[in-house]
Amino acid sequence: MKVFFFIGVMSFFISSCSMQQNSLALKKEAGDRFFITEEVKLAPGEVKLLKLPRDVREVFCGNESFSIQEINNEMDVFLTEDYFTSFRERKCQILGANNFNLGLIKIYPEKKSFPKDQLTVAPKRVHLSKKNLRRAIKEKKMMSKIYAKKRSEVYIKEPFVVPLKSFVTSVYGTQRVFNGTKKGQHLGIDLRAAVGVPIPASNRGLVVFTGHLFYTGNTVVLYHGPGVFTSYSHLNKILVKEGDLVDKLQIVGEAGMTGRVTGPHLHWGVYINGSHVDGMSLVETTTIVSELEF
Ligand SMILES: [Zn+2]
């Protein structure tokens, strides 16, 4: 008796929710469960795109926040794992309007090993002068502000592509070991490119920064939404200006060797949810999802 009462209450509850949560209910009627449960494995620097029902308003993971935006009648969220992850498993709540609990995303970080670049260089090339160090710190703060600014637009309509069909000279996450001591990690992708080679945008987006930076030289940063930025560095020439809306594969500049480099190449960076992540992973996840339903 109690069981029937409970089922009765639950079905009333679910059906009254269905009225408010219309598209979710429709989607779930075709499926099996009302409550969404997603289990995601993420390696350091990895990105995964999840398509959630339109009723979703937020993916809440404690102090971590994942940008979420509506694209083609669904809510897109790019889940990311920071390169410097503590490999902590976490549960993120999927919330609808009025913080209604729609489900759970369980994130399981996975170990991944990255290649090491052993470099022997003159000690003065490893250490920065005080002036350069001050400049580098100031520029890092300036770029953090650009990345942190809240933006609601979404420009992407198609999957991301690697900007150049060229040889990768340094993969994401490569550890840089100078004279036997680890001095950092490469949180972008280096693509072989001679000076003057035209550099296309990896997706449609808004130009949010152009300028010369100490480490990355002439740099263009694009915002694509939701929460996704790409950057193009060491350019010889910048061919766009802040505020321009560029199409996917539109030329944003010419390859070069400006900034701290040893030779000409394109450094392609991807920044999502406060982390520099692996561009190859962004291309892969948006391509897979696009084959299904982008
Ligand atoms: Zn690079």
In tens, the pLDDT along 100-149 reads: 899 999 999 999 999 998 877 766 667 788 999 999 999 999 999 999 99
Report whether 60 contacts 95 (CB < 8 A).
yes
Taking Cα atoms as reference points, which of 241, 242, 160, 236 lies closest to residue 198? 236
SS3 52: strand
Helix (H) or strand (E) holding 133: helix 130-148
Greater pLDDT, 240 or 72: 240
Report whether 178 contacts 269 (CB < 8 A).
no
Ligand 1 midpoint to CA 176 (Å): 11
Ligand 1 midpoint to CA 10 (Å): 55
| pLDDT of 179 | 81
Does the pLDDT value for residue 157 go beyond 80?
A: yes
Ligand 1 midpoint to CA 152 (Å): 29
Average pLDDT of span 29-36: 54
What CATH code is assigned to 116-292? 2.70.70.10
In tens, the pLDDT along 187-211 reads: 999 999 999 999 999 999 999 999 9
Q: Which two tokens stand for residue 62?
A: 């404690």
- Which amino acid type is present at position 88? R
Ligand 1 midpoint to CA 185 (Å): 10
What pTM did the predictor assign? 0.85
Ligand 1 midpoint to CA 188 (Å): 5
Q: How far is residue 159's CA from residue 285's CA, in Å, rounded to a whole number? A: 8
Show me where the domains of the chain are located: 116-292
Q: Return all residues near 268 (Cβ < 8 A) that are at least 6 apart.
A: 162, 163, 164, 188, 189, 190, 191, 202, 230, 231, 232, 233, 279
SS3 letters across 134-190: HHHHHHHHHHHHHHHCCCCCCCCCCCCCCCCCCCEEECCCEEEEECCEEEEEECCEE
Ligand 1 midpoint to CA 169 (Å): 9
